[in-house]
Chain A
Amino acid sequence: MKLISLTLLNVTSSSISKINTLELIPLLTIMILMMGAFIVPILKNKKNVYKISLAIFSLVFIMNLVNLVNVINNGIFMFTIGHFSAPFGIVFRIDYIESIIGLLFSFVMLMIVWYSMYSLEKEIKVKRVSFFYTLNLLLLASLLGIIYTYDIFNGFVFLEVSTLAACGIIIAKDKKTNIKAALKYLILSTLGSGLVLMGIAFLYSITGHLSMEFIHDELVKSAASNQNIILISLILFTVGLGIKGAMFPLHIWLPDAHSSAPSPSSAILSALVIKAPIIFMIKIFYMVYGKNIIQGTVILNILLIFGSLGMIMGSVFARRQKELKRMIAYSSVAQMGYIFFGIGLGNELGLLMAVYHIIAHAVTKSSLFLAVGSIIEQTGFKKIDDIKGIGKEMPVTLAIFSISAFSMIGIPVLPGFISKWNLSLASIETGKLYLLAIILLSSLLNAAYYFPIIINGYFGEDNLDGKVFRSKSKPIKELMPLIILSVIMILTGFFSGKIIELIKFGSYF
């Protein structure tokens, strides 16, 4: 009875207070995307499918831009959905990090969708195009939901939606390998989400809340008496989200899934889908448990070890691959290692760099995958050995590939360098100097598998024999999204100071 009257009180009190219209944006973007997901499959004309989905993604991108400007001007805000406030209703918390990542996701998605308009029908059946866009709309909606939400159970539901949608865009191609890869991904993902749900159950049993803020308050009060449960739930969350975010020993689903999917899907999977669980993990670590509890446990050291292992082993595996796309998929494992490494360092700079590297990697890896996708589409070659001399036939595409690869290796000014440099500074700050050797070794390994492709592509007498200049290059109109992506990538490096400052404003630390 008390509960009901309390809820009623909350409703009346909060509906009186006015809501700023700009604060509606996070919820509206998700609603527009979900509605779009229902509209797209009933359209009969294929052209309309492209037009409407592109329009929806552009609208979402612009709305997220407005949202970021609003957050910069007016600061962090909480949005209560349906006027039910925190312990009972679901709340969105829009911080600097949330709005930046939201903008990033909608931007990358828009570019990938734009690119896919020209190339999708060569890879999947025409009949499936509208379903592909439906799944993309649902996927972006769920990813934005994971980022914005301030309620762990809500986050879990969005996580499941994103898993199913991601599986859907893998099997859009309907080949043998796709189905096998999607099954592998789905089985491991269900394991992961089972563990996350178990973690939520343990947290609920000691705190009685689902809202992150309230759990945190209860945990701080009773941290000393519940250390075992805190550790168990932390491990459950880390392993569960680690599977979804491709933490090193749990990454086994990633190479199959990312290399067999159609290239726009691989770009989405690599740039966005594995990033959202990490944001959720950072939120759980620093908003639910809080800095003091997290630093009192072993979990950060475990993340550091697995991150370092991923940085090195991911590159070692990538070096051994013969297929181009598979190599880039393994490179994703290595780059995710950097993010876990940053979180695992446990100081402020490390966390900032983890978030910055999420941005850097999303922009870089998507342009890398799309460039490789267009190389495979134009030449039909999948093996690394076959594409020698491609620089003469497709100069622009290989140039984009090279810039992105330079960023992965860590050539100064490009975003990959900024995160490696700052991660090194952060590891000096913690006093663990041997970590520098790991960062250096991983960079060298990155160079070892990216440089041969670029060199063989552009130079060498016998490589360029019989190749005609620009004979296979795509029209510039179709390469536009790729070019924009790489320009934004370079700008991310140039204005890294500004971006890091913004992330710092909303730091959870």
Chain B
Amino acid sequence: MSNLLINYIQVGAVVLFGIGFMILLLNNNLIKKIIGMNIMDTSIFLLFISIGFIHGKEAPIIVGGKFHINGYVNPIPTGLMLTGIVVAVSVTSFMLALTIKYYEKFGTIELDEINAIKKNNN
């Protein structure tokens, strides 16, 4: 239990991941699915950055060729997450474009409505 309290950032990240995952999986509205995907990805970014963060250290930016006395936080997770954000943004935009196409073809963005319409037609 105390472990959960000490690592509260990680716990929060995993809880957020679960929320995003369930929204992406269970919701029928496409826009809500995209929001769920973004929550999921953001939770992973949070987890990654919390791994690299060290209390009391500076941001890893060197000004004027002088190194800071306190030392720096680990810059690699932050750098990785820049790439992760780019990936998430491109997937989001692609999904939004597909959603527009879906709306043009079917006239709705609810995935279950389509099945209901099909059943009524049969």
Contact = CB atoms under 8 A, between A and B. Distances in A.
Decide whether A and B assemble into one complex.
yes
Contact of B91 (A1, A160, A180, A198): A160
A71 interface: no
A41 interface: no
B102 A201 contact: no
Given A167-B98, A205-B51, 8 more contacts: A176-B105, A186-B94, A187-B33, A187-B95, A190-B37, A194-B37, A205-B47, A210-B76
Contacts of A187: 24, 33, 37, 95
Interface string B24-45: 1100001001000100110010
Contact of A180 (B80, B90, B102): B102
A508 interface: no
A191 B47 contact: no
B67 A197 contact: no
Interface in B79-122: 80, 83-84, 87, 90-91, 94-95, 98-99, 101-102, 105-106, 114
Interface in A148-207: 153, 157, 160, 163-164, 167, 171, 176, 179-180, 182-183, 186-187, 190-191, 193-194, 197-198, 201, 204-205
Nearest to B49: A201
Contacts of A179: 98, 101-102, 105
Nearest to B17: A198
Given A160-B87, A179-B98, A182-B98, A190 B30 contact: no
B29 to A, nearest CB: 12
Interface of A: 1, 153, 157, 160, 163-164, 167, 171, 176, 179-180, 182-183, 186-187, 190-191, 193-194, 197-198, 201, 204-205, 210
8 contacts: A1-B67, A176-B105, A186-B95, A187-B33, A194-B17, A194-B40, A204-B48, A205-B47
Nearest to A4: B62
Contacts of B17: 194, 198
A163 B101 CA distance: 19
A204 B77 contact: yes
Nearest to A194: B40
Contact of A197 (B51, B84, B99, B114): B84
B91 to A, nearest CB: 6
Contacts of A163: 91
A243 to B, nearest CB: 11
Contacts of B44: 194, 197-198, 201
Contact of A171 (B30, B83, B101): B101
A164 B67 contact: no
Contacts of B114: 180
A137 B114 CA distance: 34
Contacts of B40: 190-191, 194
A176 B107 CA distance: 11
Most buried by A among B17, B37, B44: B44
B87 A157 contact: yes
Contacts of A194: 17, 20-21, 37, 40-41, 44
